[in-house]
Chain A
Amino acid sequence: MTSDNDRRRGLLARLRERPAARSRGRRRLGAAVRLFAALMLAGGAYTVFAPGVQAQDNPPLTGAAAEGKALFDVSCVTCHGRNAQGVEGRGPSLVGVGAASVEFQVGTGRMPMARQEAQAQRKPKVFTDEEIRQLGQYVQELGGGPIVPEGDDLHSDANIAAGGELFRINCSQCHAFGGGGGALSSGKYAPSLRPASDRQIYAAMLSGPQNMPVFGDNQITPEQKADIIAYIQETLKHDQDPGGFNLGRYGPSTEGLAIFLVGIVALVFASLWIAGKS
C-alpha cells in the first residue's frame, strides 16, 4: 500500500527481469522495465500526493477489491483510465472483462504492458498471486464477467481423449499440434502453451485475450475445458515423446533441417574419411 513497497517491488522486478531480457535478446524489455519503473514512480507519487481521490468517487468495494483498486490506481490507471473506463488509443475498458481476464493478463506478466505493440508478450509476472487476486476482485466488482473456478488443478478426472479431439478442432490451428504456438498475421502470434498453468489456459479460453477468440462456457462447457486442459497438460506437456528427441515439434521443417545437419553432414564426413589418404 505504501509507495516504499511499490518502489522496492519495482526494483525487484528490474532485477528479476534483467537476465531474462538479455537472454532473449529482446531489447524491448529494457525499455519496458524503464517505462514500468517510471510508471511505478508516477503512480507512487500519485498515491502519496493525492490520497483523498480514491475515497470520493468509489462505489462500496469489498476489502480485497479495495486493495485491488489501490494497486490498479498505481499500475494500470495510465492506460486503462480512472475506474478502468479505458483510455482512447491506449487501453480498453476493463468493465465486464471479469477476473478471468485479469488473472490471465496479469498472471502471465502480459500486463502491465511495456508499450503499445502488435501483441503483449508473456513476461515474468510483476504482481504476487495475492495482488492479482485483489486486482481481479476489483475488476470483477466493476462490471462482472467470467471467473476461473477455484483451485490450481483444473483437469483431474478429465477425459484426455475427448480433450484431444476438442484441442484439434478448436486450438491446434493457432497453437499447433504440439502446443508450441504459431504465427498469425502481421507479427501477431499464438503463444506457446508450454509455460501455461491450468488456470491460465482456463482464463484464456474464457476471456479471449488479445486476438484469441472467446470460448465461453456455452460453447465449451467447463467439463470440456477441463478435458482440453488435461490433454494439454498430460499429453502435450507431460507425456514424453516415445520416438526420441522431438526436434521442437515444429513438424517437417526441423526434420528437413535435421536430415541435412545431422544425416548428410555425418555421412559426408564419413566419405571424406573413407576416400581420404590414410
Chain B
Amino acid sequence: MTTHTEHQAQQGREPLDVNTPGLSQFDIVREGARRDDIEIVHYEPQVIPGTKAERRLTRVVASFFLLTGLAATAFLVIYIWWPWQYAPGRGGDKWYTPLLGVTLGVALLAVGFGILTWGKKLLPKEVSIQDRHEGAVAEDDRTITGHTMLYMAEEMGVKRRPLLGISLLAGLAPVGAVAAAPLVGGLISDPHKNNQMFTTGFAPAEGGEKIRLVREDGRPVRPADISTGGQITVFPGIDHGISNKHADSPTLLIHLRDSDADESRQANERVGHGDYMWGNYAAYSKVCTHAGCPASLYEQQTNRLLCPCHQSQFLITDNARPIFGPASRRLPQLPIEVDSEGYFVAKSDYTETVGPDFWERP
C-alpha cells in the first residue's frame, strides 16, 4: 500500500502524467497498472475487428445467450403448466423435477459458456506481471510499530502498577463465566435423572404389575403369534411405549427351533439367565450395544443377528454374544413369561444396561 511510489523511485521511473495530451486510453490503463507495480507485457487481440472470425465468435456467444433465454422460458412454462402434483405410478408428474433441472441447468450452463467464450475467445490475451512486494515493508516500519506497542504498554504501566492488571483479570474472569453460565446452565441435563440410562419401558409398573409385550399396533403378543423360525419386534405395553420416547425399549422376540432353543437355554444357564426364556421364545434388546442401531437382521437358520450399521453380529443361541464386528457386549436379554391370559409379559426390566456403551456403565 504505502510503498509503490518509493518502489518506483527506486526503479528510477518517473510516473507518467496522465493528463498529457495525446495519450491513448491504453496508455493510461498501462500507467495505472504500472502504479500498482503491474507490467502488462503481452496484450494481444485474439480476433481482428471486422473479420469473419470475430463475427463467427460473436454469433456463438449470442446464440449461447439466446439459448439461455429459451431454456429459462421453457423452465417457466414447465413450472407453471406441467402437472406437478404427486400421483401414484408412472406419469407426467414424475418428469416435473427432471424437466425443471434440465431447463434450469441448460439455461445456466449456456449463460456460463456464453460468458466464458466471450472472455476466453473475444477478449485480448494478456500476460501481466505484478510484483509481490514481500518483505517490502521496511525493517524500519517493523521497529517503529514494535516500539509504538511497547511504548503503549509501558505507558499503561501495568508493570509498575501490578494491582491494576491483577484486579482487571480478577474482575474479567467472572464476567467470562457469566457469559458461559446461561448457555451451560441451560443446556445441561442430568443423564441419571430417574435412573433413565438404566431403565426401559419394561420396568414393572408402580404396583409391581408386569409389563406386557405388545406389537407395533399395540396388540399384546401370544406365543402362537410367532411361527417357529420367526421373530417380531415388541414394545412395552405402556403409554408411549411404541414411540421414540422409549427409544431403548424395542425388543426382538424370537421363536427358536427346538434344537436351537436347547442350545440357547444351555448358554443362558452359563451366564445366569437360566429362566429368561419362555419355552422356545427368547427376547433380546433390538438396540445394538455398539452404536444403538436396531440390530434386527435375524438369520433364522444360523441364528445370527446382524446390525446393518456397523455389521456387528450376535449369536442368538449363545446368549447374543457378539461374534463379529465392533460390538463388544452381548445384547441384553429380557426375561419373559406368559401371564394368566396367555400373553407375553416381561418378568422384570432388563437386567443389563440397554443401548450403546458409556463410561459409567457398571
Contacts and interface: CB of A to CB of B under 8 A. Distances in A.
A244 B301 CA distance: 39
A184 B94 contact: no
B301 A211 contact: yes
B86 A216 contact: no
Given A173-B294, A244-B101, A214 B300 contact: yes
Interface in B287-319: 294, 296-302, 304, 306, 308, 311, 313
Interface string B222-254: 101111111111000000000000000000000
Nearest to A212: B300
B101 A211 contact: no
B86 A218 contact: no
B120 A239 contact: no
Given A241-B94, A278-B121, A173 B296 contact: yes
Interface of B: 46, 86, 88-91, 93-94, 96-98, 101, 116, 120-121, 125, 216, 222, 224-233, 294, 296-302, 304, 306, 308, 311, 313, 324
B86 A242 contact: yes
23 contacts: A160-B88, A165-B216, A169-B216, A173-B294, A174-B297, A182-B308, A184-B299, A185-B306, A188-B302, A208-B229, A213-B231, A216-B227, A216-B230, A218-B222, A219-B225, A234-B89, A238-B88, A238-B89, A240-B90, A240-B94, A242-B93, A244-B97, A273-B116
Given A208-B227, A219-B230, A238-B88, 19 more contacts: A165-B216, A169-B216, A169-B233, A170-B233, A185-B299, A210-B301, A211-B299, A211-B300, A214-B229, A218-B225, A219-B226, A219-B232, A234-B88, A239-B89, A241-B94, A242-B86, A242-B94, A273-B116, A274-B116
**Interface size bracket, A side:** 20 to 34
A244 B98 CA distance: 5
Interface in A205-247: 208, 210-216, 218-219, 234-235, 238-244
- Shortest 6 CB-CB distances between A and B: which pairs? A216-B227, A211-B299, A240-B94, A214-B227, A214-B230, A240-B90
Contacts of B299: 184-185, 188, 211
Contacts of B306: 184-185
Contacts of B101: 244
- Most chain B CB inside 10 Å of its own CB: which residue of A174, A185, A218, A238: A185
Contact of B227 (A190, A210, A218, A235): A218
A137 B300 CA distance: 26
With most chain A CB atoms within 10 A of its CB, the pick from B101, B121, B216, B222 is B216
A278 B46 contact: yes
A169 B252 CA distance: 11
A25 B225 CA distance: 43
A235 B311 CA distance: 28
Interface string A173-209: 1100000001011101010000000000000000010
B323 to A, nearest CB: 9
Contact of B97 (A186, A212, A243, A274): A243
B322 to A, nearest CB: 12
A208 B231 CA distance: 11
